[in-house]
């Protein structure tokens, strides 16, 4: 996967250039998305798109970790789920207002990820993937078995106040309005991560990804930047979890299960994690395949497993990477 990094690094070194094009494209996609609820009346379609947008945020977090650290996480659902449970538990025991709970729901997984990151980012490659899986699954089992805390497999329904952040709760729980909120947040996340990737810090982490030893020799500490990237990607996953819980008003241990982590990773791989926006594209494709699978939903894991195998083998840069290459060929600007 290291071979695809040269164009990304080159782009990071050129702050002007294609930058405006990217922002313009993002604004266009945001606008088209915002118009969707007006154009399409189907509640079913909007429900699908809302789920896609929430999962896209999670997948964007997973993909960003691949892009900046070269690390593949099999446990990002943990941060998604912790965020959801923080909201559920704090509101159940009425320890703080919902707004504060929402902020803690993002901060806590971020801090946890940073602390954990200091230990596990030193492990590279395949072992890192194994560790993230073990960590997430341990948390899943904890929430499943500690019934007094989190009601086990039955999950928890959340009693939100009528208004959160001054917005009517109904706004969060109807697909028409929630899709718009999630879509715009997704675009903001992509823009933020894109800016971060182009910053000095972003370039440094790419350098560490390419050759950690060399980065250390020229005087950079390498563990903290990698842990910070891990924390950022966890924060993005947690944001997804927060939106999930606002939308559904319900949380169960399934939000931490490795099948969700795996799905998010699959979305990222389908879309192409080398691009900041790739995983989001992957998420939309994922939900369209899921929808099209229709009658085969009983065998959904086999379908998506097969898709994962095919994309990994035939399209290692994902659909996004293929689009970029096609666009480059049409425009004739890019040699690679």
- For position 314 contacting other proteins by CB under 8 A, the verdict is no
Spatial neighbors of 165 by CB under 8 A, at least 6 apart, are: 99, 102
Per CB under 8 A, the list member of 306, 322, 329, 334 interacting with other proteins is: 306
- For position 134 contacting other proteins by CB under 8 A, the verdict is yes
Give the tokens for residue 206. 């790419």
Task: Restricting to residues 72-131, name those near other proteins by CB under 8 A.
Answer: 72, 74, 116, 119-120, 122-123, 125-127, 129-131
**Ordered DSSP codes for 297-322:** GGGHHHHHHHHHHHHHHH-TTHHHHH
CB of 133 to other proteins, least distance (A): 6
Give the tokens for residue 151. 């009601």
- For position 316 contacting other proteins by CB under 8 A, the verdict is yes
Per CB under 8 A, the list member of 13, 14, 18, 147 interacting with other proteins is: 147
Residue (24 or 309) nearer to other proteins, CB: 309
User: Strand, helix or coil at 291?
Assistant: helix
CB of 181 to other proteins, least distance (A): 31
Spatial neighbors of 33 by CB under 8 A, at least 6 apart, are: 179, 180, 183, 184, 187
Spatial neighbors of 29 by CB under 8 A, at least 6 apart, are: 187
CA-nearest of 295, 294, 270 to 283 is: 270
Per CB under 8 A, the list member of 11, 108, 181, 308 interacting with other proteins is: 308
**Distance between CA 251 and CA 243 in Å, rounded?**
12
**Distance between CA 25 and CA 239 in Å, rounded?**
23
Residue pointed to by tokens 């990773």: 265
Q: What are phi and psi of 14, to 5 degrees?
A: -110, 90
Give the tokens for residue 101. 């709970």
Task: Restricting to residues 245-274, name those near other proteins by CB under 8 A.
Answer: 258, 262, 265, 269
CB of 63 to other proteins, least distance (A): 13
Residue (172 or 286) nearer to other proteins, CB: 286
CB of 147 to other proteins, least distance (A): 8
Give the tokens for residue 240. 């997804």
CB of 209 to other proteins, least distance (A): 12
CB of 216 to other proteins, least distance (A): 15
User: Strand, helix or coil at 104?
Assistant: helix
- For position 301 contacting other proteins by CB under 8 A, the verdict is yes
- For position 302 contacting other proteins by CB under 8 A, the verdict is yes
Residue (110 or 137) nearer to other proteins, CB: 137
Spatial neighbors of 86 by CB under 8 A, at least 6 apart, are: 101, 104, 105, 108, 109
Per CB under 8 A, the list member of 94, 218, 313, 314 interacting with other proteins is: 313
Q: Tell me the site size for other proteins, rule CB under 8 A.
A: 44
Contacts with other proteins by CB under 8 A lie at 1-2, 72, 74, 116, 119-120, 122-123, 125-127, 129-131, 133-135, 137-142, 145-148, 258, 262, 265, 269, 299, 301-302, 304-309, 312-313, 316
């Amino acid at each position: 996967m290291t071979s695809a990094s040269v164009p990304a690094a080159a782009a990071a070194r050129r702050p002007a250039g294609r930058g405006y094009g990217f922002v313009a494209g993002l604004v266009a996609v945001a606008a088209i998305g915002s118009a969707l609820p007006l154009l399409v009346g189907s509640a079913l379609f909007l429900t699908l798109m809302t789920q896609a947008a929430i999962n896209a945020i999670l997948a964007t977090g997973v993909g960003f970790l691949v892009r900046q650290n070269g690390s593949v996480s099999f446990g990002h659902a943990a941060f998604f789920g912790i965020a959801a449970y923080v909201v559920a538990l704090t509101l159940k025991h009425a320890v703080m207002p919902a707004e504060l709970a929402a902020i803690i729901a993002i901060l806590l997984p971020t801090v946890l990820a940073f602390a954990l990151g200091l230990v596990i980012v030193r492990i590279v490659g395949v072992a890192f993937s194994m560790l993230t899986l073990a960590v997430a699954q341990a948390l899943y089992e904890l929430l499943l078995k500690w019934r007094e805390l989190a009601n086990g497999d039955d999950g928890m329904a959340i009693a939100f106040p009528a208004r959160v952040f001054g917005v009517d709760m109904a706004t969060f729980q109807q697909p028409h309005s929630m899709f718009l909120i999630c879509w715009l947040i997704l675009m903001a996340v992509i823009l933020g991560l894109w800016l971060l990737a182009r910053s000095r810090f972003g370039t440094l982490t790419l350098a560490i990804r390419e050759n950690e030893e060399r980065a250390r020799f020229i005087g950079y500490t390498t563990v903290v930047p990698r842990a910070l990237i891990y924390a950022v990607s966890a924060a993005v996953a947690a944001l997804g979890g927060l939106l999930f819980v606002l939308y559904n008003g319900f949380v169960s241990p399934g939000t931490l299960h490795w099948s969700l982590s795996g799905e998010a990773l699959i979305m990222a791989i389908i879309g192409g994690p080398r691009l900041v926006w790739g995983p989001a594209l992957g998420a939309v494709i994922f939900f369209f395949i899921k929808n099209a699978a229709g009658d085969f939903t009983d065998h959904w894991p086999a379908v998506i497993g097969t898709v994962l195998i095919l994309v990994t083998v035939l399209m290692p840069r994902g659909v996004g990477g293929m689009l970029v290459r096609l666009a480059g060929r049409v425009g004739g600007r890019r040699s690679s």
